[in-house]
Chain A
Amino acid sequence: MSRATATPERLTELLAAVRRGDEQAFAELYRCCSAHLYALLLRILQRRDWAEEALQDSFLKIWQKSETYEPARGAPLTWLLTIARYRALDLLRAKRPEVEMPEEGEEPPLSMADPTQDPLMRAQETEGVGRLTDCLRGLQEEQRRSLLLAYYEGYTHQELARVLRAPLGTVKSWVRRGLSRLRDCLESVGGGLER
């Protein structure tokens, strides 16, 4: 969590102030966190214009819905990133055909790197997620790839089946077992994330 330029305590204070309609606090929240949200949105949406649109949408929601944040239930940055990610998934659902068939003259995707390798490497660079990375590495290759493709690319079961060239039922099972094993692993290692 140390990557935010503000501490979790400060972010929690800011969110409480935003709930009271404090515009200065909202501006500070934006300064602290927009680069974190934008990085995630770029990673998922792969286009600057969509990421900027989703960033605005996310902060609009944060402004309107800050009362739904409960400090006891997790880190504030995680909550902010979750809002951004759900917004990105919604946008992808609406725009997926464009993603799959870019037309001439469109802004090209920002990254053509192998999406199944890239996220894990980047996630590893991040402090505080070592355990998650370790547990992901402990999964079977297909399970890990399925989870990461779903997380970062917003793939559906059907899209996973196509990309991974496997029957739909098999892919569904990879996702479910992957999630289940991931959870078991995270709980067995020490439970910090479970409290």
Chain B
Amino acid sequence: MKYQDQNLRRTLAGEYVLGTLRGAARRRFEKLAGQDPALRDEVQAWEQRLGGLAELEPVAPPPTAWLSLQLRIKTGNSVPLRRLPSESRAAGSPPIWRIWAGLAAAVAMVSLVMLAQYRPQNQADQVARLQQPEPSAARDFVALLKMPGSSLQWTVSLSPSRGMITAEAAGDYIKLGLRSMDLQLWWVSPQGPVPLGVLPLVGEGVMPLPKGMPMQGQITLAVSLEPPAGSPTGKPTGPVLTSAPAANGLQS
């Protein structure tokens, strides 16, 4: 290529901006433009000339995009939180379900391990507790859920004796990103996520403990990004932002 020819330079810059300059030729052009301010000027002139075509009727992106972007920036993660379409295609299901499925599988495995450990020592008692939890003697379970890349965290207590869950927020929430959405707390049961309630961004929030939630073994909690007032479907619709096991805490 004779990059001295002014017309050719202009045409190549135009084709670069238009996108028809491809492959090796495109890379070669980029390299040249990097060392040639006049060629960069040609590119910029074309970007301005064709710029009007890019101005379409605005379409608001889904609210998940902003928070995912925040997390990518703060965690230095250049990989999108949403899986690439090619990956989700392989799984045959939306990306979100793969994450939940993974969590649920992990929970199921931990439960199995724990049952295996308990059974030899206390099999009869274990089975009895499985079938008939004793609320009066039950202990609180406590989980610390940290939002990656921020100082925001919640201390979540599940109290079977009081039949309620308290969540206390600490740290700074990502102000602008959460304006139009809520963070929802889930219990990741072996059968799938069960909605618990919307987490407070400041102070303490209370939500009822679901009846029939077995208060033993490993309890995993997760937080997802949802529309205001929580998922409309009863299942997570947004990305999972964090998850943590609840530890058996103090006697209530």
Contacts and interface: CB of A to CB of B under 8 A. Distances in A.
Interface in B31-53: 44-53
A38 B86 contact: no
B183 to A, nearest CB: 18
A79 B44 CA distance: 9
Interface string A45-59: 001111111011101
Contacts of A38: 58-61, 65
A179 B15 contact: yes
A39 interface: yes
Interface in B1-33: 10-11, 14-15, 17-20, 22
Nearest to A64: B73
Contacts of B68: 56
Contacts, number: 159
B91 to A, nearest CB: 11
A128 B54 CA distance: 12
B78 interface: yes
Given A30-B69, A176-B11, A183-B14, A40 B85 contact: no
Interface string A119-154: 100110110110011000000000000011011101
Contact of B54 (A24, A85, A186): A85
B37 to A, nearest CB: 11
A43 to B, nearest CB: 6
A123 B14 CA distance: 19
B92 interface: yes
Given A30-B66, A34-B66, A56-B65, A78 B49 contact: no
Nearest to B73: A63
A34 B22 contact: no
A81 interface: yes
A154 B59 CA distance: 20
Contact of B85 (A49, A63, A128, A155): A49
B20 A175 contact: yes
Contacts of A151: 18-19, 50, 53
A15 interface: no
Nearest to A34: B61
Interface residues of A, number: 72
Nearest to A35: B58
Contact of A122 (B17, B47, B57): B57
Interface in B58-80: 58-62, 64-66, 68-69, 72-73, 78, 80
A1 to B, nearest CB: 8
B124 interface: no
B58 A39 contact: yes
Interface in B137-179: 175-177
A59 B19 CA distance: 21
A31 interface: yes
B84 interface: yes
A147 B55 CA distance: 16
B56 A43 contact: yes
A129 B51 CA distance: 9
B49 A89 contact: no
A81 B54 contact: yes
Contacts of A129: 52-53, 55
A52 B65 CA distance: 6
Interface in B204-248: none
Given A36-B58, A73-B44, A119 B65 contact: no
Given A52-B61, A79-B47, 13 more contacts: A3-B55, A27-B177, A30-B69, A49-B82, A53-B84, A55-B61, A56-B72, A73-B44, A75-B48, A82-B17, A82-B51, A132-B53, A151-B53
Shortest beta-carbon contacts, A-B, top 10: A129-B52, A35-B58, A78-B51, A81-B54, A27-B176, A179-B14, A38-B61, A39-B59, A132-B52, A39-B56
16 contacts: A28-B176, A30-B69, A30-B176, A49-B82, A56-B68, A74-B47, A74-B51, A78-B51, A81-B54, A82-B47, A89-B19, A151-B50, A154-B19, A155-B20, A160-B20, A175-B18
